[in-house]
Structure 1
Amino acid sequence: TQLTYDSKTVTDFIEKVDPSVPILVGSGPITSLKRLEFFKKQLGIPGLSDGIARILREAKDMGEKSVEICVEMYQNLRDFARSNGYSIGAHVMSIRYPFLAAKIVEKISKL
Structure 2
Amino acid sequence: TQLTYDSKTVTDFIEKVDPSVPILVGSGPITSLKRLEFFKKQLGIPGLSDGIARILREAKDIGEKSVEICVEMYQNLRDFAKSNGYTIGAHVMSIKYPSLAAKIIEEIAKL
TM-score range, shorter chain: over 0.9
CA displacement, residues 7-36 of structure 1 (integer Å, 9 cap, x when unaligned) = 000000000000000000000000000100
Q: Distance in 1 between matches of 2:55 and 2:47?
A: 14
TM-score normalised per structure 1:
0.99
CA displacement, residues 27-61 of structure 1 (integer Å, 9 cap, x when unaligned) = 00000001000000000012100000000000000
* Structure 1 residue runs without a partner (length 5+): none
Q: Distance in 1 between matches of 2:45 and 2:106?
A: 25
Q: Aligned-pair distance for 1:109? A: 0.4
CA displacement, residues 65-100 of structure 1 (integer Å, 9 cap, x when unaligned) = 000000000000000000000000000000000000
Secondary structure in 2 matching 1:34: helix
Structure 1 runs (4+) deviating above 3 angstroms are none
* Structure 2 residue runs without a partner (length 5+): none
Determine the structure 1 residue equivalent to 2:5. 5
> Root-mean-square deviation (CA), in Å?
0.3
Q: Distance in 2 between matches of 1:14 and 1:37?
A: 27
Secondary structure in 1 matching 2:26: strand
Say how many residue pairs are matched.
111
Q: Distance in 1 between matches of 2:47 and 2:91?
A: 15
Identity %: 93
